[in-house]
Amino acid sequence: MSTKPQVLIAGAGIGGLTAAASLLNAGYTVKVFEAAPELGEVGAGIQNSANAVKVLYHLGLKEALDKVVVRPKAYNFRVHSTGEVIQSMPLGESHEQRFGAPYVQIHRADIHSILVDKVRELDPNCIELNAQATGFEEDENGVTLLLADGRRISGDVLVGADGIKSNIRKQIHGDQPANYTGQVAWRALIPVENLPENFLEANVDVWCGPGNHAVIYYLRGGEVLNFVGLVAHEGWTEEGWTIKCPWEELKADYEGWHPTIQTIIDAADKDQCYRWALNNRAALPFWSTKRVTLLGDSAHPTLPYLAQGAVMAIEDSCVLTRCLDQCDNIGDALDLYQRNRIERTTRIVNESTANAELFQHSSEDELKAAFAARNIDKERTHWLYSYDALNVELV
Ligand SMILES: Cc1cc2nc3c(=O)[nH]c(=O)nc-3n(C[C@H](O)[C@H](O)[C@H](O)COP(=O)(O)OP(=O)(O)OC[C@H]3O[C@@H](n4cnc5c(N)ncnc54)[C@H](O)[C@@H]3O)c2cc1C
């Protein structure tokens, strides 16, 4: 395009901020509108594979990330009762050599603040708080973002990065009902000083049990252990990330599991155990109108069973920037963007859902048989981690 369009972004989560940094870096004028009164993220971990990390490095974030990430050596799948490793996928140097960037574990608040700093370095006034997007109007001349306080903000393109309950998606697609998966997720962060010395190696450990699995890894240079427990649960549909639940219920959910899991749960702060419902939504057939598109969880919310939700948002941001750069008009750019992203993100969402079955067989024999039929390292190498948003041909 001869003059770079002005981009409005609804939502300052990992997706909205990465998109803002990427677009500002490429010379666009960007304004981000965040509903919350202050910027921040919940206390929890996130894994980022090379397909996201190379985009973050391209934004100049390597130094900041290196200070706070943990680089796991391997991804281990274990039997819940014995701890036996039934399949292992190398990470560490192997991942970096094969895919051009490391696999990292990071506290959500750390990646969020690194992105906020980057965006503010590029434009100190880019992010506006207390700015809840309620919808939009568009015509051939531009798009207007409507805010809950009555303000109307004009721009050329609008990106809905307003998460799983997106108002922008609602306007494009109507109110899509969420389907409760029958699973809830527990989260707890355990300071290492509460655990035995040299308790666990720096790996991602996925403990697989009947109707239930748990994911465990270190954060903040090994100072904190992140525990996420994925448990079958009837009648709980609350999606919020900040709902505290009784520690006794967490303990009961993991009764009979290996002593390692008991040690972790026993060391958790009893007043800091959170639980939320995991919902699924049908994949969207399209994301864009002439001047409005979606990105991250607003476009493709996913179960966390491939650890790719934020990774997809980061990839989206990079590809969207390239599409706007490559096309002569906004409509073509948004078409190119969704055409190049829908198939991949739908596959990730579907494979994430399918992993619930793989990780949660009712008996150890079934679990072992299911893993024996799969080579997870080979599968993910083939299509998942090898994706390069910076260079993939856009067609
Ligand atoms: C248990 C669990 C573990 C996970 N682990 C991983 C992992 O290891 N790796 C990974 O890649 N992903 C993981 N994810 C997924 C990841 O957290 C999400 O995919 C990611 O946070 C999506 O980012 P987003 O910016 O699209 O949305 P969000 O993070 O939801 O951000 C949306 C932002 O928009 C704001 N907002 C909402 N509504 C409005 C509005 N109307 N107007 C303005 N602003 C608004 C919100 O306040 C928020 O700041 C996990 C998810 C869960 C549940």
218 in a structural domain? no
H helices, E strands: number in the chain? 12, 17
For ligand 1, the distance from its centroid to the CA atom of residue 149, given in whole angstroms, is: 23
Residue 217 burial class via C-beta count within 10 angstroms: exposed 0-12, middle 13-18, buried 19 and up: buried
**pLDDT of 308-323, one tens digit each?**
999 999 999 999 999 9
40 in a structural domain? yes
Across 31-60, average pLDDT: 95
- Domain housing 125: 6-177+281-383
171 in a structural domain? yes
Length of the chain: 395
**pLDDT of 236-292, one tens digit each?**
667 677 889 999 999 999 999 999 999 999 999 999 999 988 888 888 999 999 999
Answer yes or no: are the C-beta atoms of 116 and 17 closer than 8 Å. yes
Place of tokens 């994949």: 283
For ligand 1, the distance from its centroid to the CA atom of residue 321, given in whole angstroms, is: 20
Cα(338)–Cα(316) distance, integer angstroms: 9
pLDDT above 90 (res 214): yes
User: Which pTM does this prediction carry?
Assistant: 0.97
Catalytic residue among 217, 218, 337, 385: 217
Q: What is the pLDDT of residue 2?
A: 67
pLDDT interval class at 188 (50, 70, 90)? very high
Q: What is the pLDDT of residue 237?
A: 66
Contact 301 CB / ligand 1 (< 6 Å): no
217 belongs to the catalytic site: yes
28 in a structural domain? yes
193 in a structural domain? no
Q: Report the chain's C-alpha Rg in angstroms.
A: 21
Q: What is the pLDDT of residue 243?
A: 86
Percent of the chain with pLDDT over 90: 86
Which of 14, 17, 56, 219 most suits a substitution to test ligand 1, by most atoms within 8 Å of the C-beta?
14
Cβ neighbours of residue 175 closer than 8 Å, sequence gap 6 or more: none
187 in a structural domain? no
**pLDDT of 71-126, one tens digit each?**
999 999 999 999 999 999 999 999 999 999 999 999 999 999 999 999 999 999 99
Q: What is the pLDDT of residue 241?
A: 73
Cα(309)–Cα(352) distance, integer angstroms: 10
For ligand 1, the distance from its centroid to the CA atom of residue 13, given in whole angstroms, is: 6
pLDDT interval class at 142 (50, 70, 90)? very high
120 in a structural domain? yes
pLDDT above 90 (res 234): no
Across 137-152, average pLDDT: 97
Answer yes or no: are the C-beta atoms of 117 and 64 closer than 8 Å. yes
- The mean pLDDT value of the chain amounts to 95
Across 346-359, average pLDDT: 92
294 in a structural domain? yes
**Nearest CA owner, ligand 1 atom 19:** 309
Q: What is the pLDDT of residue 160?
A: 98
CATH number of the domain enclosing 85: 3.50.50.60
- Nearest atom of ligand 1 to the alpha carbon of 39: 49
Q: Which among 156, 180, 155, 175 has a CA at the least distance from the CA of 165? A: 175
Long-range contacts of 365-369 (CB under 8 A, 24+ apart): 367/79, 367/86, 367/208, 368/79, 368/86
Which helix (H) or strand (E) segment holds residue 338: the answer is helix 330-359
For ligand 1, the distance from its centroid to the CA atom of residue 163, given in whole angstroms, is: 5
Contact 229 CB / ligand 1 (< 6 Å): no
Contact 317 CB / ligand 1 (< 6 Å): no
Cα(144)–Cα(138) distance, integer angstroms: 6
Q: How many domains does the chain have?
A: 1
